[in-house]
Amino acid sequence: MLSIDELDVELLKLLERDARQGVASLSTTLGISRNTVQSRIRRLEEGGLIAGYRPQVDLAKAGLVVQAFLALETEQGSLTTIAEAVTRIPQVIEVHTVTGREDLLVRVATATQPELLELIEGIVSFAGVIHSTTWLTLTAPLPHRTAPALAEMAKGTGWGRSTAQRGGGAG
């Protein structure tokens, strides 16, 4: 596990909002040197905390207006096979193994409800699927985010060795 402090969290918040920001912009916003920003980003990348930089795609604007979550209950011993099978389906955009009655939570996106029905029928026909439940997504009041959870974890850690600190001046 990579140890992070409040400066790392502030940097991650900015990158989460817009990963295209340059080092100079991040440096100015945070009030720290470009070298500090570069070394922090490098450490977060090398430590695996920053796993990549991806665009935030609006699936509805791309025509994939029907989004849903499928919860799949699987037979004992078939979880891995089913998980591998659903990851090969183009309309599947996330797969999680979960605890509880269901074993897999699968997020899908299609252009129409008939396409969704066809997709669900295909998935539930896999050998080893016992039961499925589907929830249609109506809105996403909170899309994926990480910064608040990281901020809570790093609370009270300060800004490490950095001399600048928001609201605190030099330290």
Contact 106, 92 (CB under 8 A): yes
pLDDT band at 143 (very low <50, low <70, confident <90, very high): confident
As a CATH number, domain 66-136 is 3.30.70.920
Q: Check: pTM over 0.75? Answer yes or no.
A: yes
Q: Tens digits of per-residue pLDDT, 86-136?
A: 999 999 999 999 999 999 999 999 999 999 999 999 999 999 999 999 999
Read off the pLDDT of each residue in 18-26 and give the average, rounded to a whole number: 95
Domain boundaries, the chain: 66-136
Q: How far apart are CA 110 and CA 152, in angstroms?
A: 35
Q: Burial letters for 13-45: b for 16+ Cβ neighbours within 10 Å, e otherwise?
A: ebbeeeeebeeeebbeebebeeebbeebbeebe
Q: How many Cβ atoms are within 10 Å of 54's Cβ, its own excluded?
A: 7
pLDDT band at 167 (very low <50, low <70, confident <90, very high): very low
CA atoms within 13 A on the CB side of 42: 7
The secondary structure of residue 125, as a DSSP letter, is T
Q: How far apart are CA 128 and CA 81, in angstroms?
A: 9
pLDDT band at 161 (very low <50, low <70, confident <90, very high): low
